[in-house]
Amino acid sequence: MKKAESIILLIILVFLAIFPLIFSNPSTTSVAFFAVIFAVAAAGWNIFSGYTGYVSLGYAVFSGVGAYSLALICQKWNIAGGYTPFAFVLVAGLIAAVFALPVGWIILRTRRHVFVVVTVATLFIMQLLAYNLEGFTGGSAGITLPLPSWTGDFFNMPFYYGALILLVVAVSVSWLIRHSKFGLGLLAIREDEDRARSLGINTTMYKLIALMISAFFAGTVGAMISYFTSTVFPAEAFDPLFDIAVALMAFFGGVGTLAGPIIGALLLETLQQYMSLQFSTVGLDLILFGGLLLVVILLLPEGIVPSLFKLVSKMRASHESTPIPSSSAESTDSERLAVKEGKNG
């Protein structure tokens, strides 16, 4: 199944790479940019919350730090719009990762429901700080980022491919972690933290490292979105809806899996953007979106990827357990051999 998941991911990435060449309409590529950047967010969220089981609803703390970091870098160093700010997106990610160290040191003293509540509280503390530290963040007026001078048709392309590069990095890091000793330790923490510790796993350090890696991607996402929209405000940078959306995307696709959060983000963000465009005037988009989520939770509680894999396993098992009629046993064996040879050949 791991191999199948890797193949699915590869197909998705190839499709995303050629997508703007097929659908070049700016409104379509704008939706695609948000879908891809949210896929980065969901993959990053999954590295900490999916692998360790610590469900964070304060992921926007780090995306907000990334957004403000890029805005302040551009403002203080007079960086003009264009390709240069993209290089600082990585710096914004690193700042968010470093910021995760003291935050994690505090919030990771809690577990389960308390941890979820503490992450939400941290988010609102950050939002309040952003509103009140006016000299630093610009308060409610926010900070304006430089606007690239690209034409309307081309404008979305650098952002889209920038987001896609981040997605490739996020997928690669997720894959490497999942197949490493470190990843095995994180999964053990998710299953039973005390047992993991009794086997010699340094659970505190592992959780902190996973949070920092996760925060790096959140920081880059925040920076990319703020550069794309050319502004950063406290309410948008530290938005609780961002957290809920990212968590839902991961759960929708399959939390803790490689491909799940990415598939969830690509489907849900595209749908949300489409519905917002089509029905936002009457608020129908939110009703439809909420209804759809309820249906998915009822029918696929584990998410798309695990449910599909379970279905495939069941079908395989039922196929293998089908009794072979004794009279035709010989012919069935030869048919099987032919099929096997056909497959190999």
Kindly list the residues in this chain that would bind another protein in the complex (CB under 8 A): 181, 184-185, 187-188, 191-192, 195-202
Measured from the CB atom, the residue of 83 and 179 that comes closer to another protein is 179
- Under DSSP, is residue 144 helix (H, G, I), strand (E, B) or coil? strand
Measured from the CB atom, the residue of 109 and 310 that comes closer to another protein is 310
Measured from the CB atom, the residue of 39 and 207 that comes closer to another protein is 207
Q: How far is the CB of 72 from another protein (least distance, A)?
A: 41
Q: How far is the CB of 65 from another protein (least distance, A)?
A: 33
63's tokens:
């995306």
Measured from the CB atom, the residue of 153 and 192 that comes closer to another protein is 192
Of 228, 108, 207, which Cα lies nearest the Cα of 163?
Answer: 228
Q: How far is the CB of 191 from another protein (least distance, A)?
A: 4
| Radius of gyration, alpha carbons of the chain | 23
Q: How far is the CB of 250 from another protein (least distance, A)?
A: 17
Measured from the CB atom, the residue of 24 and 202 that comes closer to another protein is 202
Q: Residue 8 in contact with residue 308, Cβ under 8 Å?
A: no
| Amino acid present at 261 | P
Which residues, 6+ apart, have CB-to-CB distance to 259 below 8 Å? Answer: 5, 8, 9, 12, 253, 305
Measured from the CB atom, the residue of 123 and 196 that comes closer to another protein is 196
Alpha carbons within 13 A on the beta-carbon side of 3: 0
Task: Name the DSSP class of 57.
Answer: S
Q: How far is the CB of 269 from another protein (least distance, A)?
A: 28
Q: Residue 72 in contact with residue 241, Cβ under 8 Å?
A: no
- Phi, psi of 283, rounded to the nearest 5 degrees: 75, 10
Q: How far is the CB of 280 from another protein (least distance, A)?
A: 40
Query: For the stretch 32-68, what's the b/e string if a residue is b when 16 or more beta carbons lie within 10 angstroms of its beta carbon?
Result: bbbbbbbbbbbbbbbbbbbbbbbbbbbbbbbbbbbbb
